[in-house]
């Protein structure tokens, strides 16, 4: 969109000829509306006049209408330029140069719930740089320690923060850092930075999420998205057999990950899957009764009628208190083979973040540090589907899960969170180097 066209659009919806004197007694209302408008566009980027009025009327002593906010705020729009009117919306000044970006944002906000804090918290967003978490400060401190507290570092941090906050993925971070002459000196330094940047990303309020952080929206989506499969934080894509494979190999799906899906060698057998879930749900039922997590009874049966959302809540309590497995074994009459599996879960489980780097015929290959902080490769089998089918993402993929030993194999505890990010070529090259070093020690395929 040209500057001239953007200017005409702005003038069309913010017409100087519409400016009138502030109606008698409404100056104090205008001041509070101005604060709310600044906070709203900083938090959401764009918001409909109707939703804005609803929020204001619910939180403020004063009441207003969609018609009145135009009368009261237009003079401040023309004077201060912090926000403006566009169609039936109020938009942040970022969109004044290209209102098509506002349309794009609205498309991505569609259907998502809106984060609405209480009045005191809402009005803190009047400050454009306000953030209700310290994760970006941790990123800033890390970059200062790694690169020095110079102008290049500060500018690189601000550009990276804006890109991560308002963009999708991290693929351009490498070029941003090169442009500001910021170079990582080791793999460990790069990995630590990625961890910090993703922690910041997942806990930052995003315009596309209507003000929710990615982590918050994940939790909300789990309970409402009917397309989410049995691994509640991963949404499987629908891929045609002649479509490009979603793993990013460049091959057609039918000649790549579909082969793993058809062969079913990278997942448990039907009997193994049933055995796993019977043990797992039995443990979940005990943990729930013991800790009173959710108000349902989880039975050791497969398939199970309890929703994944509730099972996930119980699962979180288990891995915060793994000693509950010992208590379950002690207090429950179980066959010896199940006891041996549970004992291994208690002592050998591995909880944390992994990067899936490769798919092989028997398993997905993921990398993570061992107890001595040495990078090691793990061959992970899927449960109902292969990991490649479950993820359906361009490799490498960052995941969080709990690895478990099971009958001489490595599986996960049925829950896997994937991060919707893309890695640039520089980071991909680092992963290839990490893989080449770790493969010297082989791929770990059992944890016993």
Residues 388-406: what's their mean pLDDT? Answer: 86
Alpha-carbon torsion, ordered 292, 317, 213, 50, to 10 deg = -10
Residues 54-78: what's their mean pLDDT? Answer: 94
| Neighbouring-strand partners of residue 401 | 352, 416
Run of H or E including 356: strand 350-359
Q: What is the pLDDT of residues 103-112, one digit of tens each?
A: 988 988 888 8
The per-residue pLDDT for 256 is 63
CB 183 within 8 A of CB 173: no
Which alpha helices (DSSP H) does 129-269 contain, by range? 135-147, 151-166, 173-179, 187-202, 214-224, 257-263
Residue 181's pLDDT band (cuts 50, 70, 90): confident
All residues at 6 or more sequence positions from 317 whose CB lies less than 8 Å from its CB, including other chains = 287, 291, 293, 324
The angle at the Cα of 162, spanning 199 to 228, to the nearest 5 degrees, equals 50
Residue with the bigger pLDDT between 330 and 139: it is 330
Residue with the bigger pLDDT between 182 and 289: it is 289
**CA dist., res. 124 & res. 39, Å (int):** 7
Instruction: State yes or no: pLDDT of 422 exceeds 50.
Output: yes
Q: What is the pLDDT of residues 331-366, one digit of tens each?
A: 999 999 999 999 999 999 999 889 999 988 899 999
Contacts 24+ apart (CB under 8 A), 30-35: 30/72, 30/73, 30/76, 32/56, 32/60, 32/62, 33/64, 33/69, 33/72, 33/73, 34/73, 34/76, 35/123, 35/126
All residues at 6 or more sequence positions from 168 whose CB lies less than 8 Å from its CB, including other chains = 208, 420, 422
Residue 186 token pair: 């080791």
Residues 391-411: what's their mean pLDDT? Answer: 89
- Against a cut of 0.85, is the pTM above it? no
Residue 27's pLDDT band (cuts 50, 70, 90): very high
The per-residue pLDDT for 245 is 64
The per-residue pLDDT for 222 is 53
For 313, phi and psi rounded to 5 degrees? -60, -40
Average pLDDT across the chain, whole number: 85
Residues 302-314: what's their mean pLDDT? Answer: 81
**CA dist., res. 74 & res. 441, Å (int):** 67
């Amino acid at each position: 969109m040209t500057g001239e066209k953007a200017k005409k659009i702005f003038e069309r919806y913010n017409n100087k000829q519409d400016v009138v004197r502030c109606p008698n007694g409404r100056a104090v209302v205008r001041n509070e509306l101005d604060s709310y408008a600044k906070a709203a566009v900083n938090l959401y980027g764009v918001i409909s006049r109707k939703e804005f009025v609803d929020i204001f009327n619910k939180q403020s002593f004063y009441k207003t209408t969609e018609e009145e906010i135009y009368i009261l705020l237009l003079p401040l729009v023309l004077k201060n330029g912090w926000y403006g009117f566009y169609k039936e919306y109020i938009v942040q000044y970022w969109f004044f140069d290209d209102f098509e970006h506002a349309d794009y944002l609205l498309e991505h906000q569609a259907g998502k719930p809106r984060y609405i804090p209480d009045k005191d918290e809402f009005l803190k967003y009047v400050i454009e740089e306000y953030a209700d978490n310290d994760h970006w400060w941790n990123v800033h401190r890390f970059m200062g320690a790694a690169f020095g507290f110079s102008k290049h570092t500060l500018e690189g941090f601000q550009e990276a923060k804006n890109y991560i906050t308002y963009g999708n993925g991290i693929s351009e971070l490498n070029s941003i850092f090169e442009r500001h002459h910021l170079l990582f000196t080791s793999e460990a330094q790069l990995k630590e930075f990625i961890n910090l940047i993703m922690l910041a990303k997942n806990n930052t309020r995003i315009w596309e999420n209507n003000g929710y952080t990615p982590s918050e929206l994940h939790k909300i989506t789990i309970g409402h998205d009917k397309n989410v499969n049995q691994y509640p934080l991963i949404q499987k894509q629908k891929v045609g057999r002649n479509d490009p494979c979603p793993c990013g190999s460049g091959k057609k799906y039918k000649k790549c990950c579909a082969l793993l899906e058809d062969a079913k060698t990278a997942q448990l057998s039907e009997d193994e899957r049933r055995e796993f879930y019977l043990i797992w749900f039995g443990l979940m039922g005990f943990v729930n009764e013991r800790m009173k997590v959710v108000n349902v009874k989880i039975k050791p049966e497969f398939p199970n009628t309890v929703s994944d959302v509730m099972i996930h809540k119980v699962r979180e309590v288990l891995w915060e208190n793994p000693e509950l497995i010992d208590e379950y074994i002690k207090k429950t009459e179980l066959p010896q083979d199940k006891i041996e599996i549970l004992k291994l879960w208690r002592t050998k489980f591995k909880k944390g973040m992994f990067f899936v780097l490769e798919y092989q015929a028997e398993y997905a290959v993921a990398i993570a540090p061992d107890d001595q902080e040495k990078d090691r490769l793990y061959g992970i089998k899927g449960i109902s589907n292969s990991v490649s089918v479950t993820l359906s993402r361009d490799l490498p993929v960052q995941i969080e899960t709990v690895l478990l030993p099971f009958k001489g194999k490595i599986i996960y505890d049925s829950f896997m969170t994937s991060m919707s990010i893309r890695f640039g070529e520089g980071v991909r090259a680092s992963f290839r180097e990490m893989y080449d070093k770790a493969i010297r020690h082989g791929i770990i395929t059992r944890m016993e």
